[in-house]
Amino acid sequence: MPSVYPFSPLTYPLNPGATTDLSALVAPPYDVLDASGKAKLLSKDPRNIVAVDLPHIPAKDLGPASAYEGAAALLKEWTDSGVLVRTATPTMYVYRESFTFNGQLTKRTGMVATVDVRPFGPSKGGGILPHEETFSGPKEDRMALMKATRTQLSPIFGLHADETGKAAKLLRDICATRPAEMTATTDDGTLHEVWSVRDPLVQQKYAEALIGEDVFIADGHHRYTTAVNYLEALKAEAASAGKPLSENHPARRCMFVIISMSDPGTVIGPTHRVIGGVSGYSWGAFMQAAASTLRFEPIAGGLEALESALLKVAAMGEPRVGLWDFASKSGCVAIPAQRDALKARFPEKVPAWRSLDVAMCQYQIVEEVCQQKLNGGNPVKWAFPHSIPEVEAIASGSETGAGGGKGFTPQLAVILRPTPLQAVREVSRAGQLMPQKSTFFYPKLATGLFLNPLA
C-alpha cells in the first residue's frame, strides 16, 4: 500500500496521566448532520468541532464564501487561544470503537496515520481504490472548506485486506497494554477510545504489516478526492510561481483511519432509498410499468415485516430488494425478471457488480421504471435512510441527515440489504465503482479527535 506515516495533529488538550473525555467536543461526519443535529452538538459545547466542520448546510451544495471564511477564522481563534493544540511528537494512534450491531456488542479497531496522497487506482505495492461513485456538490463544499482552513478536519476511513490478521492483532495488543488516553461517547451510543503510538519501532512494525496492501476507501470518497484536488491545485500554483511544490509539503499526505477487513468489527449496514418526485407514479402504475422488468412476491405487514422477509427469502436469489408504497402501505419483495439482467447493458462489469442490490435499484427500478416510464426521463428525488425508523421519519415529513423534510413527498421506498464486504473487495480490485450510496460502514468515525494541518 502507499507508505503510512506518523503525524502531528491538532487535538483538544489532554489531561496528563488520565483519560480525557471529549464527548461534548466531537461530532459525526458532516454528511450525516442537518441543522438540528448541528445545533444539538453546539448546545453541548460551543467549541464542538461541528462549528468548523459544517459551516454550510446542506453540505451537499457549495455555500457562500463567507461561511468558509468564518470557519477558518474560528479555527485560527481556537488554535491561537489553546482550544486546540499541536502534538509535538509525530504519532500514530490506535482508535477503537465499541458499539451494538444487530443486538451484539462489537468492537472495531484501526490505526490513525497519514498516507501518501495519490490518484485513485491500482499501483505497484498497493493503491488507493474507491468503491462507489460520488456526487459533485459535496466535493465543491469540502474543497472550499479545505482551501479556507488549510486543514483536513476529519480522517478518511480506509480498509485493507490483512488476510493473515497480523495488523489487526498488533492493534489489539496495543489496546491491552494500558488505558486509553482519550475517549468520547457519541449520541448513537458508540464509545470511541484512542491510544497514542510514539515508539518508532512499533510504528515501523505496523507499516511492515501493510506492505503490498491496497487501501479501499470505505467512507470519505468526497473528502479523499478533495485531498487529491487540493494537492494538484497547490502544485499548479507552485509551478506558476516558477518552482515545484516541496516534497515535504504536508498536503502530500492525507489522514486515514486504516482498518483491517479481518477485524470482526468491520460491518456494513444498509442504505435504503426513499424516492419521490415521480410525476406518473402510483403503486398500480409502477407495477404495470415494471411488469416486464421485475417479478414480485407480496409481503403482508409493515416496513419491518418487509425488511425481515427480504433478509430471509434466500430462495428468491440474488439480487433482490423490498418495495414499499407509502400511499397504500403495500409491500413486496422484487427480483429481476431475467437472470443476470444487467449483463446486456453492462457487459464489462464483473459479476459481483451486476448482482448488487444497489445496482438493481439504480438501473432497473429508478432509471428504467421510475425515470423513463413514469417521469418523462427526468431525475427523481432521493433520500438515503439507513434504518426502517429513518424511512418512517421521512414518511412523516421529518428532515433527517439522510434527506426528506419540507418539499419532499415520499412515494416509494426501496429497502436494501447491506452490501457484502467481499463484493466491495471484488468490485474495487476490478477497478469498477458501485452506484452512489452503496455501503454504510457502521459506526461512523468521530470528527474532532484529530485534525491534520496542511499549511
- Judge contact between 47 and 446, C-beta under 8 A: no
User: Mean pLDDT over residues 382-394, rounded?
Assistant: 93
Q: Is 286 left (phi over 0), alpha (psi -120 to 50) or beta?
A: alpha
Regarding whether 365 and 378 lie in a shared domain, the answer is yes
Give yes or no: residues 379 and 448 share one domain.
Answer: no
At 317 the pLDDT is 79
% of the chain exceeding 70 in pLDDT: 99
Is pLDDT at 409 greater than 80 in this prediction?
yes
For range 268-272, the mean pLDDT:
93
Do 154 and 13 have their domain in common?
yes
> Is residue 422 domain-resident?
no
Number of folded domains in the chain?
2
Q: What is the pTM of this model?
A: 0.85
| Range from 2-16, 72-86, 419-433 that averages highest in pLDDT | 72-86
Asked whether residue 423 is domain-assigned, the answer is no
Query: Looking at the structure, do residues 447 and 391 belong to the same domain, yes or no?
Result: no
Q: Residue 243, by phi and psi: left (phi above 0), alpha (psi -120 to 50) or beta? A: beta
Domain, as residue range, for 331 = 271-417
What lies within 8 Å, CB to CB, of 242 at 6+ separation is: none
Same domain, 44 and 90: yes
Helices (H) and strands (E) in the chain, counts: 13, 24
Tell me the three-class secondary structure of 108-166, residue by residue. Answer: EEEEEEEEECCCCECCCCCCEECCECCCHHHHHHHHHHHHHHCEECCCEEEEECCCCCH
Residues 231 and 298 in one domain: no
C-alpha pair distances (Å), 265 with each of 1, 68, 357: 22, 35, 23
Do 284 and 262 share a structural domain? no
Q: Verify that 286 and 313 share a domain, yes or no.
A: yes
Contact 350, 336 (CB under 8 A): no
| 323 and 415 Cβ atoms separated by less than 8 Å | yes
- Enumerate the H helices of 341-454 as residue ranges: 351-354, 357-359, 388-395, 421-429
Residue 426 pLDDT grade (very low, low, confident, very high; cuts 50, 70, 90): confident
